[in-house]
Amino acid sequence: MDRLRMALIGGGGAGFIGKVHATAATLDRQAELVAGALSSNPEKAKSAAIPFGIAPERAYESYDALLESESRRDQHDRADFVSIATPNHTHFEIASAALRAGFHVVCDKPMTTTLKDAQELVELAESSDRVFALTHNYSGYPLMRQAREMVAAGEIGDVIAVRVSYAQGWMHGVDPTATPSRGAWKSDPEKNGPGGSLGDVGTHAFHLASFVSGLEPRTLLSQMNSYSHHHQLDDYGHAVIRYDNDATGLVTWSQVTHGRLNDLSIEVDGTRAALSWQQESPNQLFVRSLGKPTQIYERNPNAGYSSPAAIAACRLPGGHPEAFFEAFANVYRDAFADMRRVNAGQPTPLEPKLYPTVHDGMQGVRFLTRCLESHQQDSRWQTW
């Protein structure tokens, strides 16, 4: 199998997410990193390419130079897709330019900072016949795919409630008088967008609730606060969601919870049973039912209870932990399958897809927008 060719935009310097993209995309040897525009600073863009192993002639000073130059290369040599690991406010312009230039796109979340831009990007992606994937990587964990299939099969009955919490505490360590070594743009509303922690981790929590439950929101109410002294964007918030089947959702996000590192957890209540999972212990899924012993589903491709989607997301035998990189790589691997089909002139399977698409990206931006609208209107209910 020929490897797909990757161009990385952003992600150089002290940031960690660019290295995650490069590692995840190449983990299964289905892709290779061949080009990059790793910084908005031309000199840094060149120097940052060296640790990534990018040849000097394909280390570009800007994303538009990358798109232009790669577009002129022979189709058997040019990049097949671009991965966008830049500040939020640049996602739309870079992604739209890449689609128009004929590249597949893998983009960080949130997809855009405004709903208008998100809707325009959906239309552009659909008309371009290119693959668009969004890196809500937590949906790539095998046991999240197991949970999704169990819910869809009715194993826990009808879903009556979904609770997702994403708690971190790193903002307590931020010195408001100093410029951080990475992520300084996150405190700037012009670059981050109007949602602070909401856009950073809240959108991940919302997507995971939707991915596992399969539910569509109907109305939403939100309340947010800013407790950190280094910026005025939200760093703590809640959203209550009413779904189409009258199920209830609660999404909580925080980056000011002491002692929490990357504590993402989800619980799904059904009429027959309940599921629970934590990202920091990703290889176990708990299933509880009244009057019965708690069941623990382990990430084990050889177990008879493992679902096809969970098995396909595993690389190692049970007992050999898989975690963040592997889950991130699963998003890439699933998107690669569609990229290869498109490159070969073949149709891609219909929705729903296991990897987050441009439509999931728009839903995330809609969630962000409705939360902000509700908060600004004294926590009034908003129609989805």
Question: pLDDT digits over 52-101, tens only?
Answer: 999 999 999 999 999 999 999 999 999 999 999 999 999 999 999 999 99
233: confidence class by pLDDT, cuts 50, 70, 90: very high
* Axis crossing angle, helix 358-376 with helix 115-128, rounded to the nearest 10: 170
What's the pLDDT tens digit per position in 39-48? 999 999 999 9
State the pLDDT confidence band at 317, using cuts at 50, 70 and 90. Answer: very high
Q: What pLDDT score was predicted for residue 136?
A: 98
The pair of structure tokens assigned to 295 is 């069941």
Q: Which of 229-238, 287-296, 360-369 has the lowest mean pLDDT?
A: 229-238
How does pLDDT run across 164-200, given as a tens digit for each residue? 999 999 999 888 878 776 667 788 888 888 999 999 9
DSSP SS3 for 296: strand
340-377 pLDDT per residue, tens? 999 999 998 877 899 999 999 999 999 999 999 999 99
Distance, in Å, from the CA atom of 152 to the CA atom of 239, rounded to the nearest integer, reads 24
Closest CA relative to residue 308, chosen from 158, 153, 134, 159: 153
- What predicted TM-score, i.e. pTM, was given to this entire model? 0.96
Rounded Cα–Cα distance for residues 172 and 96 (Å)? 36
Rounded Cα distance, 309 and 317, in Å: 15
- Given this model, what pLDDT does residue 183 score? 67
Per-residue 3-state assignment (H helix, E strand, C coil) for 232-271: CCCCEEEEEEEECCCCEEEEEEECCCCCCCCEEEEEEEEC
Q: Which residues contact 311 (CB under 8 A, 6 or more apart)?
A: 142, 301
The percent of residues in the chain predicted with pLDDT above 90, rounded, is: 90
Query: In this predicted structure, what is the pLDDT of residue 214?
Result: 97
CB 144 within 8 A of CB 212: yes
Contact 66, 46 (CB under 8 A): no
pLDDT at 350: 73
Tokens of 102: 């004929």
Mean pLDDT of 245-253: 97
The predicted structure's pLDDT at residue 188: 81
Tokens 């809500």 appear where?
136
Categorize the per-residue pLDDT at 15 as very low, low, confident or very high, splitting at 50, 70 and 90. confident
Share the mean pLDDT of the chain: 95
Alpha carbon distance 107, 121 (integer Å): 12
Handedness of CA 262, 316, 356, 18 (dihedral sign): positive
Which of these ranges, 10-24, 293-307, 362-376, has the smallest mean pLDDT?
A: 10-24
Span 251-267, average pLDDT:
98
Q: Which residue is listed with tokens 């120097």?
A: 47
Percent of the chain's residues with pLDDT above 70: 99
What pLDDT score does 366 carry? 98
Q: What is the mean pLDDT of residues 282-306?
A: 98
Please write the tens of the pLDDT for every residue from 140-171. 999 999 999 999 999 999 999 999 999 999 99
Task: List the domains of the chain with CATH numbers.
Answer: 4-138+332-357 (3.40.50.720), 141-318+364-376 (3.30.360.10)
